[in-house]
Structure 1
């Protein structure tokens, strides 16, 4: 039986420690444990951030990492906004390359990939710094070989629209931190139990934002409508990649506020599609919205042609089957 997505790991990981003045030399260590004092800042005050990116095996056997530099920039930004010690982007880049190179033989063939999880966390041994940052930290690179996210087929999702709550504190939205995901867990679990929903689309003040773990795109004919970037939600690398491909296809991209009322009106059109974008699933179709105890079908309720095309085009670049004209791939 295949293991669940993200539950299998390579036996070693790259790690480096910041002692308050400088980072030590990265080394490869066993990935089955991590020495940490119970008073470590991260365990009490959630001073941690992470990234998610993938390495892909090309048709000629080469291994390439997708948009690594963009993920590292966001990793540095998250660290800065959490008041963690600043990372050295060059060192982080080399740690990723070295770790993937060590296990390049374990990168699955397409449609599988090697999921890469850089993580940064505060390690200062102090439970008295609730209002202060950690002066020391740890950074590591964990690898997880994964299969096709849609191994059982790209089933359309059921999504509950919540126009009262929000995924996380507005000023924390653009930080990729575990606390943001944790804050959305209970609402999502309740939505699953009550509505059999797969996710929640948060729409604070009645304007569509993002789900608990993915960005949102509304595809109406030749136009994609999605919230304009601000600090309240995550600036997805996959989102940016898909919008770039859509522009290359001649589509109109409208980054603006999208009221729930407009969303529900637009999806009445059978051409309309809705999708969630993220590193794991790339672009997942939404077939049904639930809002105020009523269900609304999106188009024909199944995977739409534009969603399928955009996902296929992005996969083709990642797998080396199409031209990488935006220089998104880094060779290991």
Structure 2
């Protein structure tokens, strides 16, 4: 059972806010945070907004030893008429509970979490930047806090939401990146944790990412773990290919993260009557399409970067250039439309945007 009264304890001191033109990604955090605890027999309880602060944990806490943790990423935006809006936040909390199910973490009340987030943003409204391309990044996460060294699910957890004003994820902005197809390491298999947004998935990808960076690539393109044949996703993004007029993205197969931005892009393409399919696509098919002159665009999608055009693909000793290493017409249209909806600049025909109501907090 969840207590649904959110207590608010405001900080006596406020940090100096960075200028919009100096924002980096995930380096600076706001004055307050949302926290909620779980204990077996009591359920989720004590939801509160408190001053941003360190947390004290026992060295035996299970999150340190067995990685029982999940997280999400979303953003709040300031519109030109000074409203603050969220983009499909209910989908992120829904996915967080899906991750909880896979990681044996108790389900939380999604409506309560959304209420807590909105109240937190109301308090931190002055932290939402207004310059183009900026936003307030939102990081909800849950960690196992039981001090126990046995391999089992924890009986205690802490749910937290922290906020960070951010600039563009990629300093180069909406410019093509080069990615390396990974042949040695694997990311996930069907039945594994690839569909959950859990910390271990990302730490396991760091070695391949490090090697790709040495090759001059910004990201890794993962293939399926069994045959090393079918495209799955990029390190921090889902992936799309425009081949001979059709947009293709790997289908959700039990090892691919169901991206909220991915889903939004698919809905946009269908709205525009552009052929789009979710199916298996091999890396051979991608390179053959390039040889035939049919590979028109490649782009990644995710909350942080929104759309990231791919200008080059490296696969072993093969390398191809996509669309002359230029941002494709469709990639740019998708980016402008989605960010336009998120920023309130253009019509939202899907009712994706939720406005954060503004109340006064001392």
Q: For the superposition of Structure 1 and Structure 2, which TM-score range results when normalised by the shorter chain?
A: over 0.9
Over 3 Å counting, the alpha-carbon distance change for 1:267 and 1:299 in structure 2 is farther
Asked if the contact 2:241/2:298 (under 8 Å) is kept, the reply is yes
Deviates more, 1:271-280 or 1:255-264: 271-280
In structure 2, distance between residues paired with 1:23 and 1:234: 26
Report if aligned partners of 1:274, 1:285 keep a CA contact under 8 Å in 2: yes
* Bigger mean CA deviation after superposition, 281-290 or 269-278: 269-278
Tell me the TM-score normalized by structure 1: 0.95
Q: Which residue, 8, 22, 45 being the options, matches 2:66?
A: 45
Instruction: Report what 1:222 is aligned to.
Output: 245
Equivalent in the alignment of 1:10: 30
Contact 2:24–2:168 under 8 Å retained in 1: no
The total of aligned residue pairs comes to 329
Q: Please identify, of 293-302 and 176-185, the stretch whose mean Cα deviation from structure 2 is larger.
A: 293-302
Gaps of 5+ in 2: 1-20, 357-362
Which residue of 49, 65, 71 corresponds with 2:92?
A: 71
Alignment gaps of 5+ in structure 1? none
Q: Name the structure 2 match of 1:178.
A: 199
Q: CA shift at 1:91, angstroms?
A: 1.6
- After superposition, the CA RMSD in angstroms is 1.5
User: What residue in structure 2 maps to residue 165 of structure 1?
Assistant: 185
Q: Is the 8 A contact 1:165 1:203 kept in 2?
A: no
Whole-Å separation in 2 of the counterparts to 1:274 and 1:183: 25
The corresponding residue for 2:325 is: 301
Structure 2 length-normalised TM: 0.87
Counterpart mapping for 1:124-273 below 5 A: 124-128=146-150, 130=151, 132-170=152-190, 171-193=192-214, 195-204=215-224, 205=227, 206-268=229-291, 269=293, 272-273=296-297
Counterpart Cα distance in 1 of 2:271 and 2:159: 37
**Which structure 1 residue ranges, 4+ long, deviate > 6 Å from structure 2?**
none
Is residue 344 of structure 2 the alignment partner of residue 320 of structure 1?
yes
* CA-CA distance at 1:214 after TM superposition: 0.8
Seen in structure 2, the aligned counterparts of structure 1 residues 157 and 252 have a Cα distance that, compared at 3 Å, is same
